[in-house]
């Protein structure tokens, strides 16, 4: 099995310059090396399992001070999540108790897997709105299936997907969703939610849907204002105004009395619970003796305890009905949670593990439906409250769960009297902060006008169409822009100048055109016939041609052919090599000959077969122009071993008389086989001879020059790979000095 051994790296490959080997040789990476790095060992698997339960690292250090902070923060969040959870359940088209079940399970299940002490898991407005738009669509196909069953099914499927992504360490996928997409999605969602709650806030009795596009809901709400019920409107508007009034007063008092900032923070944080209690008390007084015919819409009877616990029903037909909405549901779960957790991690100086957070919310959604919970993820408003309330560990969520549990069993009689209009006010007040302010949009415009345009497009789609489509559109546009920028990346030719004085004098390489450099320094071409070219956006199959086409065009423009009259008769010249005219000849005589190309790979991490083949083709093309001289190819800042291996496999990295002309033919054609060919047919198919006179002598001289510490860090078997541009240019100078003159 020699072939398998060679592929896996079990058999040592033959070095093409073994006769020049020295103590600084570099061994090529092998497939076996890659497998050893990629496949975890036994101890690594154990560590991976331990990382799935982060609480094991800090629970043994738990103390009374931490307990006090977690109790205060958890109880504060519990008082907030009870009214919010009930309101968000209404957004999803579910009875209010399902919001309490979701809040309870979020607190119980999240903390053992959490890497953030500030995040609180539970029902959120945007995810509830997405569910609220999916459930009616499914019920149009299967009208007999209740909404909670559909919500549980979606939650379990999403939880399974997210858990798998976390176990597979795919948390980095969230990074592909840019900030403008997130901002437009959240702003559009907030506007849609607020417009949908106006009907409930005012108690409008007209029969119109509040589940469609935001613009349509706003139009219908304005048209049907005469149908509003005065008592519902009075309760809703007064609750909303009071919420904003309390927040404004507390914000003013924090600035006016900074010593009591903590007190005013807690008063502001508990304003939602206070408003719900106040208006529930008013409702109880008004409706105590008219429970069957209340003066305004109230929540009504809910079951005490977990009456809906059980194994969820997963119907294949139901999944088929909503499967095209699953990507949007998964994106919402990931997006809001990871964005929030990263934000609070930066604020409070700790690092979250995105993949572990996916496991946490995945398991929460996977197990939650067994007691009646629906889709849950991180909440920005409640997480901010938990953070500012002094939470010390993720165990604060357990306190929140206990508070919610008390409400589920002991406060059902109180919940009966909660006005729907007050819940609508709570929802509008909670999501209003998600709307991006105009000054933020202006900042987007100053940083990147294109990103500001993407934000506007996403917002328009969210308002005129649906929230999921807004996500799809903005993400697709952002990815398309990213691909376009990468594919159309423009490299730059570098010139050399010197900065500093005396002992501090050093060479500096900068773009010749200075298009991106705000400086008065004028770089000069380093040497006649020597070009330094920098790749700016990687070097892969999508942008290789764009790079090299521009590079070859400029090299042709600023160099002359070594032997312009290489053909005895005009008929010997191939059709694709036209004879230059007299004017061109007169101008070319002053141009230098092409001697060397230095490629700066500082922005290149990986290469592929297409990009390497492109380099081979360009080498053949430039060899034709420089023949009988040899064009030296030097590479600087090649940091990846696999990239160096790929370049060496294509014949780069050392002065060889036999680099492969092509990697995609049935048989590698070597320059040594064709360097004596002179027929036009040989030139047409790219067969050009490049004698390498003096190469071996130059290598021998290079091996001896190891006084430079940078030079000593380079491989002696691949002397054309350099640690920086300075050493590459010095190597070119040494080669030109050792080469025989024409």
Please give the full DSSP string across 475-503, using - where no structure is assigned.
Answer: HHHHHHHHHHHHHT---EEEEEEEESSGG
Sheet containing strand 632-636, edge to edge, reads: 506-511, 492-499, 530-534, 596-600, 632-636, 721-722
- Of the two residues 64 and 26, the one the predictor is more confident about is 64
Asked whether 371 and 158 are in contact (CB, 8 A), the reply is: no
Q: Indicate whether 333 pLDDT > 50.
A: yes
Instruction: Compute the distance between CA of residue 642 and CA of residue 34 in angstroms, rounded to an integer.
Output: 10
479 vs 329: CA distance, rounded Å: 20
Do the Cβ atoms of 725 and 637 come closer than 8 Å?
A: yes
- Give the pTM: 0.77
Number of CB atoms found within 10 A of residue 421's CB: 29
Give the confidence band of 303 by pLDDT, cuts at 50, 70, 90: confident
Query: ∠ at Cα 513 (720, 614), nearest 5°?
Result: 45
Contact residues for 110 (Cβ-Cβ < 8 A; gap 6+): 119, 120, 121, 360, 361, 364, 394, 397
Cα separation, 404 vs 279, whole angstroms:
20
pLDDT, residue 567, reads 59
Neighbouring C-beta atoms of residue 507, cutoff 10 Å: 15
| Other residues' Cβ atoms within 10 Å of the Cβ of residue 569 | 6
If phi > 0 it is left, if psi is from -120 to 50 it is alpha, else beta; for residue 121 that is beta
- State in Å, rounded, how far the first CA of the chain is from the last one: 50
Lowest mean pLDDT among 273-287, 608-622, 645-659: 645-659
Q: Mean pLDDT: which of 409-413, 486-490, 689-693 is highest?
A: 409-413
Residue 586 pLDDT level (bands cut at 50, 70, 90)? low
Q: What pLDDT does 358 receive?
A: 93
CB neighbours (10 Å) of residue 21?
13
- Nearest Cα to Cα of residue 725 among 641, 633, 600: 600
For 406-434, how does the pLDDT look when each residue is reduced to its tens digit (9 = 90+)? 999 998 889 999 999 999 999 999 888 88
- Which residue would you say has higher pLDDT here, 51 or 544? 544
Statement: residue 12 has pLDDT above 60: no
- Encode pLDDT of 431-475 as tens digits: 888 888 899 899 999 989 999 999 999 999 999 988 888 888 998
The values of phi and psi at residue 390, to 5°, are 95, 30
Q: Domains plus CATH for the chain?
A: 2-44 (no CATH), 55-434 (no CATH), 492-564+581-657+691-738 (3.30.750.24)
Q: Say whether pLDDT at 61 is over 80.
A: yes
DSSP letter at 145 equals S
Q: How confident is the model at residue 496 (pLDDT cuts 50, 70, 90)?
A: confident
Query: In this predicted model, what pLDDT tens digit does every residue of 135-158 receive, in sequence order?
Result: 999 999 999 999 999 999 999 999
pLDDT over threshold 70, residue 611: yes
pLDDT band at 23 (very low <50, low <70, confident <90, very high): very low
Mean pLDDT of the chain: 82
Res. 359: pLDDT tops 90? yes
* Contact indicator for 522, 580 with CB cutoff of 8 Å: no
Angle, nearest 10°, between helix axes 179-202 and 449-464?
A: 30
Q: Which residue has the tokens 């600087």?
A: 636
Let me know the angle formed at the C-alpha of 67 by 342 and 87, rounded to the nearest 5 degrees.
Answer: 60
Query: What kind and span of H or E run contains 2?
Result: helix 2-8
Instruction: Say if residue 252 is exposed, middle or buried (CB neighbours under 10 Å; 0-12, 13-18, 19+).
Output: exposed
Confidence at residue 275, expressed as pLDDT on a 0 to 100 scale: 93
User: What's the average model confidence in pLDDT over 470-489?
Assistant: 88
pLDDT > 70? residue 674: no
CB 489 within 8 A of CB 548: no
């Amino acid at each position: 099995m020699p072939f398998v051994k060679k592929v896996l790296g079990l058999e040592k490959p033959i070095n093409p310059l073994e006769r020049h080997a020295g103590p600084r040789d570099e061994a090529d990476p092998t497939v076996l090396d890659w497998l050893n790095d990629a496949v975890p060992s036994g101890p690594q698997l154990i560590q991976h399992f331990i990382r799935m339960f982060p609480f094991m690292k800090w629970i043994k250090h738990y103390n009374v001070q931490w307990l006090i902070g977690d109790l205060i923060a958890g109880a504060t969040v519990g008082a907030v999540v009870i009214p919010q959870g009930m309101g968000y359940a209404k957004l999803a088209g579910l009875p209010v108790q399902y919001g309490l079940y979701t809040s309870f399970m979020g607190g119980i299940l999240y903390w053992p897997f959490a890497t953030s002490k500030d995040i609180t898991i539970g029902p959120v407005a945007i995810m509830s709105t997405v569910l609220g738009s999916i459930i009616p669509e499914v019920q149009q196909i299967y009208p007999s299936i209740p909404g909670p069953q559909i919500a549980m099914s979606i939650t379990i499927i999403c939880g399974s997907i997210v858990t798998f992504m976390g176990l597979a360490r795919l948390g980095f996928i969230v990074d592909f969703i840019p900030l403008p997409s997130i901002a437009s999605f959240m702003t559009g969602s907030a506007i849609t939610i607020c417009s949908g709650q106006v009907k409930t806030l005012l108690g409008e009795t007209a029969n119109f849907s509040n589940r469609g596009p935001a613009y349509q809901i706003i139009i219908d709400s304005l048209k049907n204002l005469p149908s509003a019920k005065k008592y519902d409107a009075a309760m809703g508007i007064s609750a909303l105004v009071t919420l904003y009034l309390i927040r404004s007063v507390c914000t003013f008092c924090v600035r006016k009395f900074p010593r009591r900032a903590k007190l005013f923070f807690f008063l502001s944080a508990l304003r939602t619970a206070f408003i719900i209690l106040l208006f529930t008390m008013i409702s109880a007084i008004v409706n105590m003796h008219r429970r069957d015919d209340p003066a305004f819409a109230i929540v009504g009877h809910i079951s005490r305890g977990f009456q809906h616990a059980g194994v969820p029903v997963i119907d294949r037909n139901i999944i088929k009905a909503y499967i095209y909405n699953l990507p949007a549901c998964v994106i919402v779960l990931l997006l809001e949670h990871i964005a929030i957790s990263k934000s609070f991690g930066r604020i409070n100086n700790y690092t979250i593990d995105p993949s572990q957070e996916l496991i946490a919310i995945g398991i929460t959604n996977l197990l939650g439906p067994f007691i009646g919970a629906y889709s849950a993820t991180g909440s920005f408003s409640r997480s901010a409250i938990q953070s500012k309330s002094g939470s010390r560990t993720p165990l604060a969520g357990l306190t929140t769960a206990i508070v919610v549990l008390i409400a589920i069993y002991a406060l059902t009689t109180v919940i009966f009297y909660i006005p729907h209009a007050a819940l609508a006010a709570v929802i509008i007040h909670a999501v209003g902060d998600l709307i991006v302010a105009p000054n933020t949009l202006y900042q987007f415009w100053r940083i990147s006008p294109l990103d500001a345009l993407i934000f506007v497009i996403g917002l328009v789609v969210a308002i005129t169409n649906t929230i999921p489509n807004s996500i799809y559109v903005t993400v697709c546009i952002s990815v398309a822009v990213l691909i376009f920028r990468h594919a159309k990346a423009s490299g730059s030719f570098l010139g050399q100048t010197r900065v500093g004085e005396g002992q501090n004098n050093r060479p500096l390489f900068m773009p010749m055109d200075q298009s991106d450099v705000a400086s008065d320094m004028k770089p000069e071409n380093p040497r006649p016939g020597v070009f330094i070219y920098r790749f700016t956006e990687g070097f892969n199959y999508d942008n290789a041609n764009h790079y090299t086409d521009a590079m070859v065009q400029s090299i042709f423009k600023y160099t002359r052919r070594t032997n312009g009259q290489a053909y005895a008769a005009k008929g010997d010249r191939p059709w694709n090599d036209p004879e230059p005219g007299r004017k061109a000849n007169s101008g070319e005589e002053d141009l230098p000959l092409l001697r060397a190309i230095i490629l700066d790979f500082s922005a290149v991490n990986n290469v592929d077969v297409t990009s390497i083949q492109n380099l081979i083709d360009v080498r053949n093309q430039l060899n034709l122009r420089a023949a009988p001289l040899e064009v030296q190819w030097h590479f600087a800042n090649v940091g990846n071993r696999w990239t160096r291996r790929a370049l060496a496999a294509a014949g780069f990295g050392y002065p060889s008389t036999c680099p492969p002309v092509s990697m995609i033919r049935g048989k590698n054609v070597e320059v040594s086989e064709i360097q004596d060919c002179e027929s036009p047919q040989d030139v047409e198919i790219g067969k050009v001879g490049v004698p390498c006179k003096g190469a071996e002598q130059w290598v021998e001289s290079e091996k001896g020059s190891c006084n430079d510490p940078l030079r000593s860090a380079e491989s002696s078997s691949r002397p054309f790979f350099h640690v920086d541009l300075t050493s590459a240019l010095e190597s070119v100078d040494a080669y030109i000095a050792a080469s025989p003159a024409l």
